[in-house]
Amino acid sequence: MLPEKHTTYYDIIDSFKGKGCPICSLVDRSVNAFFKSFLMEFVLNNNITKKLNKSKGFCERHGFSLIKHGDSLATAITYNVLMDDLLTELKKTGAVKSSFFNKEGDCPACEAFDESNERYTDAFVMYAVYPELLEKYQGSTGVCVPHLRKILTKCKDKELLKQLVEIHLSFYGKLNDELISIIRKNDYRYSKEPWGSEKDAWIRAVEKFVGRQYKD
């Protein structure tokens, strides 16, 4: 019996239209939604405040994501609480031994990232039984290596697993051919050959392995 199609199914199908890893794009969208909610209503939410106090703010990646949202007031309120606690600790003798410097748990945005990461990889495997999804997926640029590992690990259907491996052999094989083309055209003997789609393959290869799109 095939699983019932919900909004997530159509979100996954729609993600195939973009560049880069489709699962990464869906996870990024979830994290952006977290920040929008946080900045609109969660700044004064005690549960989020407690989590931020334990994690000592957002991690590097998500701290800079917060800055990009441009909400100076919400950011000031958030970090004013943390700064007050830090100043209190620094005024104490032996503050370096204080538990303030010990992080407890991930930052709330990392939790949102992890939750959506699991949700979308679970959904991908669940809905991959639909031929329509796999057909449309083959027209995408494919998932990154970290998400491929998750998907293959979660797939318990041997026939489906075989299909997924074959699809990704094609995805990654084409990319590797482009890398070989770059190497070839950097040889003086073939340096006059025109460049094609392989021109940015070196960037796309890094993106595939790190699971993020490069933004200059």
pLDDT value of residue 49: 80
Is residue 4 scored above 80 in pLDDT? yes
How far is it, in rounded angstroms, from Cα 208 to Cα 141? 10
* End-to-end Cα, the chain, rounded Å: 46
Q: What are the tokens at 23?
A: 């699962």
Where do the domains of the chain lie? 7-210
Q: What is the DSSP letter of 5?
A: P
Give pTM, 2 decimals: 0.84
pLDDT in tens, 5-29: 999 999 999 999 998 899 999 999 9
pLDDT in tens, 97-147: 667 777 777 899 999 999 999 999 999 999 999 999 999 999 999 999 999
75: left (phi over 0), alpha (psi -120 to 50) or beta: alpha
